[in-house]
Structure 1
């Protein structure tokens, strides 16, 4: 959900210079300057398509990142990791990176430059327990900005190591609420990332972009909705249009490292905004087709439909949660769990007005997650999106819903999830 184009542009531009506003005050970040002169180092170099590299989320054939919190994971020997970023990297894009289960470090990267991200001075690089070889992980924080991987470097005589994918996979399809707009580290502070990373031993991808509708029409400048764009590698941003024009790459679902066991959909805040002129019938049709498409691509996946939260309104001497499409979403869930659909399920390919018939599923696969009562009015920031605390609350509740509904254990027992949230009071007398 967006208050307007101006607030959207301000939101994405703030991270371009590494500034985070915390309750209206500038948070001191002191991101390290990691750019180096590559000629001063003795590296072993790998191309961006090396088989040892695992790309998380959606990256195109040019190894350009798209959507929210796309990642790169690999193992390495030695004590050095550097990455050269390609020409399609947006200068000053903020990335988070870390080794093994240690805390995130952040840096702004530059097109055409090489950045030294692990060195002998990096905390933990000399420790091989409990993980050997060490794992390196990179995540792009912002959806509008992005990076292109050109080369990956390790120390001379060292090597990259392929890290096997986890057996559990979850995918989120959403808009700005899932993308993490206006949280401190955007994609790395979103509730979607919090669930995916917080579950532990789980692959996750967040196919979300601010302003997008599920309905296939222009919303806040995005020409297509998720009912269409989810089938493509990139979004419909100006960055994507400048690279691919009107012919973006279709996403090759067959080449995904893992197939999602769970797909979480949170869409409708932009459709519900009067600015975009989406009719209720259009919304219901698009949402239904999107689930049909998801079921066609991931026939064994469980789908979670999230109840929308639209902020809060002052009511008398308190506040009430604003809801959108509440009955419509419940009706959609009921339809997919009805004999009508289960006996003759259909799929949608995102591009035509026709649907194909699938084999009937053996059980109900669409679930409704109520957000009522999770957030209070002060969990919504001035720009109508969850605060960091609000995102953490949603992530915590949704993680428990997944545990109770599907029996997924919560196995993350130490690695940092949300960065810069270690607030505490150490004054005894106040």
Structure 2
């Protein structure tokens, strides 16, 4: 994979079963569902989903429904208890990752419309006797790219407070397809290199607008009705739940709702290059040339990284060689703007890609690493080569 710096989407409903190299993987998902909590429930203090102290990461719509890959929620709080009610537009059994401050991630499957008790007095680290960073923070990430959650209410202990966590000072946007969204990785988007790069840099806000099977050119590809040159400007992705919620016209994304990206990482075109989809090299090239200045319209000061594509590996003599896709076209896009400023990786593969890209960003743009301890990827001793869950 080379990066040039210019400044089968087929899924079934996710369950708690993950297959790893032909065997069912042992999982330790926490059962967090409890009885419903209302604003009149005793023992709790409730905040609405539009509370100003809540920081939504990635793309969420006006109903506080999450979209695209690895969207998140972060805030600080006081007290001993924290629960969240997930609304009717939450995908049933969707797997989320959550954690207290910089401690290990925990995983739990959600129930549509239910309340989940995520932090309680027995949560490790809540009452640590060693020096701790206060206030305590809570972070949540949706692991899947095709499913999502709806935040209906945040519940804390009766005398607790909700606290805003300031955004980090630098921001990166990922635009891509199945590779960037973590398709076939053990925890999907949460294990993908898009997430690993953003989290691995440390002190960095990031958004992953990537979805499996999508083309750059605005064409129907692997069940995606539109390409990224159209969909990237929309709040929602191209999932079946998005089509059910919005039909053919998803709402435009308000780019002013979050600070502008400093770096935009584009890795897309593998599906355009697939003979199954009706995209020609000329169409791909023109779409890419048209797309780059549109990205700069919304992020005028962003550095844009164009990434070359994997075209698959084939035997060449006594070794194997990668066959690139759209190599000439991507380089032509790079040269056009230079003067102005189907296989999938395993978990280990995503980590390797992230490591190389982080190093590239550090050398090219001077972004020093800020991650000094909090875990980036959960359960990295495992690797996976299957896409069935």
2:223 alignment counterpart: 221
> CA deviation digits over 1:24-80, x for unaligned, max 9?
211111311100013586111000010000000000001000000000000000121
2:274 alignment counterpart: 273
Query: Does residue 1:331 correspond to 2:290, yes or no?
Result: no
1:26 alignment counterpart: 24
Q: 2: CA distance between counterparts of 1:332 and 1:297?
A: 19
> CA deviation digits over 1:100-124, x for unaligned, max 9?
1111100000111000000011111
Q: 2: CA distance between counterparts of 1:409 and 1:111?
A: 41
Match of 2:369 among 410, 426, 429: 410
2:320 alignment counterpart: 319
User: What SS does the corresponding residue of 1:198 show, helix, strand or coil?
Assistant: helix
Preserved CA contact (<8 Å) 2:219 2:278: no
Q: 1: CA distance between counterparts of 2:372 and 2:30?
A: 28
Q: 2: CA distance between counterparts of 1:199 and 1:404?
A: 13
Matches within 5 A, 1:319-398: 319-338=320-339, 342=340, 364=341, 384-398=343-357
> CA deviation digits over 1:188-242, x for unaligned, max 9?
1101100000000000110000000000011011111000110000012210111
Give the Å deviation of 1:423. 6.3
Q: 2: CA distance between counterparts of 1:307 and 1:212?
A: 16
User: What SS does the corresponding residue of 1:337 show, helix, strand or coil?
Assistant: helix
User: What SS does the corresponding residue of 2:276 show, helix, strand or coil?
Assistant: helix
Match of 1:401 among 360, 365, 384: 360
1:355 alignment counterpart: none
Query: Does residue 1:246 correspond to 2:244, yes or no?
Result: no
2:34 alignment counterpart: 36
- TM-score, normalization by structure 2: 0.93
User: What SS does the corresponding residue of 2:273 show, helix, strand or coil?
Assistant: coil
RCO higher in 1 or 2 (8 Å CA, sep ≥ 6)?
2
Count of residues in Structure 1 that have an aligned counterpart in Structure 2: 372
> Any stretches of 5+ residues in structure 1 without a counterpart?
343-363, 365-382, 425-430
Preserved CA contact (<8 Å) 2:211 2:238: no
Query: Does residue 1:237 correspond to 2:239, yes or no?
Result: yes
Matches within 5 A, 1:50-199: 50-127=51-128, 129-199=131-201
User: What SS does the corresponding residue of 2:11 show, helix, strand or coil?
Assistant: helix
2:308 alignment counterpart: 307
Give the Å deviation of 1:129. 3.9
User: What SS does the corresponding residue of 1:260 show, helix, strand or coil?
Assistant: coil
- TM-score, normalization by structure 1: 0.84
> Any stretches of 5+ residues in structure 2 without a counterpart?
1-7, 384-389
